[in-house]
Amino acid sequence: MIAKKPIALVVTKDLHTRLFFRNHLEDIFHLIEKKEFDKATEVAETTDLDLVIIDENCDKAIDLCFQLKKRKRLFTTPIILITKSLKKAYRQKATKAGVFDFLDIPLDEEALSQLLQKCEDEKKRIKKVSSLSFKIKKNNN
């Protein structure tokens, strides 16, 4: 059986950003590209996403992060925000909205690679905690 590629949603209006992710992620992920808030939330409703990347230049980017994170389907899915902002308050607001981490502009292949590894490590940690929680619950019943 052939393993299915994980699915990544990239939300950006910028052609260069889309091309960067096509170039660096297409071998690893099945990419879904959207430009608008409504289209991105539509995809999130119907697709099991493994990664979400949102460009801060999209309309209502932080609101989109919050909307996606509150959906049960995406509760544990890492959301990465592409940003050029170094302001602590902005990053805190984004983190509260559900952003897992940030990819700074200008986009860099090495930074993306490190971030993907961090996302993978976090998914493993969540899976392990979930498994332990299930075992504890089972033993208490």
Q: Map out the domains of the chain with their CATH numbers.
A: 7-140 (3.40.50.2300)
What pLDDT, on the 0 to 100 scale, is given for residue 59? 86
Query: How far, in Å, CA of 53 to CA of 45, rounded?
Result: 16
- The rounded percent of the chain whose pLDDT value lies above 70 is 88
Q: At what angle do helices 88-96 and 61-69 cross, to 10 degrees?
A: 30
Section 27-51 average pLDDT: 93
Angle ∠(11,76,68) on CA atoms, nearest 5 = 40
What letter would DSSP give residue 2? P
Q: What is the largest CA-CA distance in the chain?
A: 54
Global pTM value: 0.87
Q: Is residue 120 predicted with pLDDT exceeding 60?
A: yes
Q: Is residue 10 predicted with pLDDT exceeding 90?
A: yes
What pLDDT, on the 0 to 100 scale, is given for residue 123? 81
What pLDDT, on the 0 to 100 scale, is given for residue 141? 61
